[in-house]
Amino acid sequence: MIIGIVKEIKSSEYRVAATPGAVTELVRNGHEVIVEHDAGTGSGFTDEMYEAAGAIVADEAERVWTSVDMIYKVKEIFPEEFKYLREGLIIFTYIHSNAHLDQTKALMESKCISIAYEDISDDKGQWPLLSPMSELAGKGGFLAALHFSQTINGGTGKLLANVCGVETPVITIIGCGNAGLGACELAAAFGNRVNVLDINHDAMMDAKKRLPQNVTFMFSNRENLVECMKTSDVIINCVLWPKTRKDHLIYREDLKLMKKGAMIIDVACDEGGAIETCRSTTHTDPIYFVDGVMHYCVDNIPSAFAQTASATLSNATLPFALAIANKGVKQALKDDKHLRRGLTTFDGKLTLLETAKKLNLPYTSADEIVSTF
Ligand SMILES: NC(=O)c1ccc[n+]([C@@H]2O[C@H](COP(=O)([O-])OP(=O)(O)OC[C@H]3O[C@@H](n4cnc5c(N)ncnc54)[C@H](O)[C@@H]3O)[C@@H](O)[C@H]2O)c1
């Protein structure tokens, strides 16, 4: 198979889908890899490193898009890239089809085969291509709070750490999954008083074993959330919000409960999700204020740690990319129900139920499609 790795065009996106090490594996398995010039530079991987790994480096994105069987990338497909979509082309990337109607329609109309990292499942009911990025995003969310709490960056000037002789800051983390634990590890290590709220008792019990005494675990209900809103300097939301839910955990009117100068870091970053006032922001324009409360809602936090993020993402996606390339996409989808869970569009049909419901589009199950192979 010919596999193409393109340079990401999203603003401030520095990750690359495959490291030179991953390219070596693809080439060792008999595949040809074409990498767009400078695709890995933002992650510290030069064209020479890709060439040494056996890839061909192409000057233009167009050359990559038009000469490969599979596009292996990081972020969704942007309108400038729609012209390259074509029947049978395999797109393997984060897609977030429920949030981008124009992209979803373009994928369907082109009849390409698109598989979304974020919807690939595992035997534990987890999302293995999301979790490595979630941990990084949670850690990055705390670091963003640390940065934007500084006076010189528009914050109140409260250092989010335990400093002798002054009141210790309070940080509330909603959700103790991968992102929440990532945020919690750093917030606690800096000596803050950390509250973690979750609805899953077992998840909290597991986390409690690994985290220090300055972390308090609370069941996530309205009463505890209101108490945390009143007392926290920072709220970090790490709840994966179901795509079809219409309610919120924190409503706009709740912002008036919060302390002056408090901030919300919405790592989950679902518009219309757990935080009603969330709207996605970028690394170049990361914060905004609603009713005096600073919001940080960058939807690609891991990109700020591009080298680490590319390496962990590439480690997680490579087994699936290899399966697709080695077996062919149809056989790979047939053999692996978890990969099939990530199938988003095939031959013009939308195969993700959540997206079909949210965008009111016709749905065909991936199992039905695979049964015709
Ligand atoms: N901003 C970014 O750059 C970025 C990057 C990666 C992931 N994310 C997002 O981070 C979010 C979290 O990902 P994750 O892998 O940690 O998810 P996860 O499923 O591992 O964790 C979510 C946790 O939230 C808990 N939860 C569910 N409902 C709750 C409620 N009402 N109150 C409190 N807790 C509740 C769950 O029990 C679970 O423990 C996802 O939405 C993901 O898309 C964002």
Could you state, in order of their start, the residue ranges of all structural domains in the chain? 2-119+306-370, 131-299
Atom of ligand 1 nearest to the CA of 181: 16
Question: Per DSSP, which regions of 73-228 are E strands?
Answer: 90-93, 113-116, 170-174, 193-198, 215-219
In the prediction, which pLDDT does 270 show?
84
Considering the candidates 31, 47, 96, 254, report the single residue annotated as catalytic. Answer: 96
Closest residue by Cα to atom 39, ligand 1, is 177
Output the CATH code of domain 2-119+306-370.
3.40.50.720
- The CB-side HSE value for 180 (13 A sphere, CA atoms) comes to 26
Q: Which residues contact 230 (CB under 8 A, 6 or more apart)?
A: 257, 258, 259
Q: How confident is the model over 159-213, as pLDDT tens digits? A: 999 999 999 999 999 999 999 999 999 999 999 999 999 999 999 999 999 999 9
Which one, of 270, 253, 260, lies nearest residue 232 by Cα? 260
Q: Which of 172, 228, 237, 238 best tests ligand 1's pocket when mutated (most atoms within 8 Å of CB)? A: 238
Q: Rounded distance, CA 33 to CA 175, Å?
A: 39
Atom of ligand 1 nearest to the CA of 174: 33
Tell me which residue has tokens 């993402």.
313
The alpha carbon torsion through 298, 301, 304, 307 (nearest 10 deg) reads -160
Within this chain, domains 2-119+306-370 and 131-299 share the same CATH topology: yes
Instruction: Write out the two tokens for 315.
Output: 């480690």
Q: Rounded distance, CA 275 to CA 264, Å?
A: 9
CA 15 to chain centre: 12
In the prediction, which pLDDT does 246 show?
86
Output the CATH code of domain 131-299.
3.40.50.720
339: CA distance to ligand 1 center in Å?
Answer: 21
What single letter denotes the amino acid at residue 327?
K
Closest residue by Cα to atom 11, ligand 1, is 268
Q: Rounded distance, CA 173 to CA 237, Å?
A: 6
20: CA distance to ligand 1 center in Å?
Answer: 30
Bridge-partner residues for 346, per DSSP?
A: 349
Which one, of 335, 314, 369, 309, lies nearest residue 134 by Cα? 309
- The b-or-e profile of 107-142 (16+ CB within 10 A means b, else e) is bbebbbbbbbbbbbbeeeeebbbbbbbbbbbbbbbb
If DSSP codes are grouped into helix, strand and coil, which group holds residue 177?
Answer: coil
Instruction: Write out the two tokens for 121.
Output: 């499942």
In the prediction, which pLDDT does 106 show?
98
11 burial via Cβ count (<10 Å: 0-12, 13-18, 19+): exposed
96: annotated active-site residue: yes
Closest residue by Cα to atom 25, ligand 1, is 175
Bridge-partner residues for 90, per DSSP?
A: 70, 113
Q: Rounded distance, CA 285 to CA 268, Å?
A: 18
Instruction: Write out the two tokens for 215.
Output: 């972390």
The pTM is what?
0.88
Q: Which of 74, 129, 172, 198 best tests ligand 1's pocket when mutated (most atoms within 8 Å of CB)? A: 198
Please identify every stretch of the chain with a pLDDT value under 70, giving residue numbers as ranges.
none
270: annotated active-site residue: yes
135: CA distance to ligand 1 center in Å?
Answer: 10
Using CB distances shorter than 6 Å, the residues near ligand 1 are 130-131, 133-134, 137, 174-180, 197-200, 203, 220, 238-240, 249, 267-269, 298-302
Instruction: Write out the two tokens for 314.
Output: 């590439």
Query: 263-266 and 287-290: which strand pairing?
Result: unpaired
Atom of ligand 1 nearest to the CA of 274: 31
In the prediction, which pLDDT does 193 show?
98
Considering the candidates 198, 270, 295, 299, report the single residue annotated as catalytic. Answer: 270
Q: Rounded distance, CA 132 to CA 182, Å?
A: 10
